[in-house]
Structure 1
């Protein structure tokens, strides 16, 4: 079976003869199942929440996609928490605590330290952060911290960083999460690991798929 979409390299998936014969009779339904899976993958990456849907098949061959109420319940609960004062305060507290723990890691350094590793100045580091050529994460009290893994052995930042900002938006935290997460499209590796192998095009393709909410 070959999956294809405009602007995305086709993907070949081996399936058994029985499965292929059945799917061939329900092409529209198979497409719907795959599209729902793609949307579910994109949604869970963006929100960090699990997404569930079921495929209901009748003896007559009718196929229906079922989205359980729990998906809507979860979304509704989170929306209510965001709009309530106590819920908003708790969410902000959790966010600050998580950010602080990330910024305190050994691979997070100041602009001065990153400048030393790059063989340049703090002013240049700040300028390149503003130009979206470096990832600088801002915390509630610690100022900006820079992941050391965005530099290669020669002290040069990944050249793909500006393209990731273009694809995923202006938030450095979004870029950080994308690069540190494991992706099935990269054989379960993080985007950082793929970039260290020179797989810039593959990483950018995954980022584009996430941004578009499509199944790559």
Structure 2
């Protein structure tokens, strides 16, 4: 998996580390705890197919936990013929379909 540091994420998003950290806590950005320091972030989340859906996805799943968000996006689903939600989004699936699956997954 292509993970980047907080500094790399801040540079990619054109924001500060403080902003990236606030986004992680708010569920607007996926960050997973790094043993050394801070968070590691999946680089693909900043792609235009995925970025606008992160906060609504966190709301649908009822969590801001980075591991939970990452797990949902990277786990193949039968409802997507064995494709992961992330790949489905990258291939043009409507975000509304992924959000509906997330809502069903949370219940």
Q: Distance in 2 between matches of 1:165 and 1:152?
A: 17
- Name the structure where strand makes up a greater proportion of residues: 1
Cα deviation, residue 143, structure 1: 2.7
**Rg comparison, structure with higher value:** 1
Report how many residues are paired: 105
Which residue, out of 166, 172, 181, partners 2:66?
A: 172
Structure 2 residue runs of 5 or longer lacking an equivalent are none
Q: Distance in 1 between matches of 2:94 and 2:74?
A: 15
- Going from structure 1 to structure 2, the CA distance change for 1:123 and 1:198 (only over 3 Å counts) comes to farther
Which residue, out of 8, 11, 21, partners 1:126?
A: 21
Secondary structure of 1:175's aligned partner: helix
Contact conserved, 1:134 with 1:157, CA < 8 A, in 2? no
Secondary structure of 2:52's aligned partner: coil
Return the TM-score normalized by structure 1: 0.44
CA RMSD of aligned residues (A): 1.9
Return the TM-score normalized by structure 2: 0.84
Q: Distance in 1 between matches of 2:60 and 2:54?
A: 10
Cα deviation, residue 127, structure 1: 2.0
- State the Cα deviation string for residues 156-176 of structure 1 (Å, max 9, x = none): 961111122222223211111
Asked if 1:162 is matched to 2:61, the reply is no
Contact conserved, 2:58 with 2:64, CA < 8 A, in 1? yes
Q: Distance in 1 between matches of 2:56 and 2:8?
A: 25
Relative contact order, CA 8 A, sep 6+: which one is greater? 2
Where in structure 2 are the equivalents of 1:1-216 lying within 5 Å? 105=1, 107-152=2-47, 158-168=51-61, 169-196=63-90, 197-212=92-107
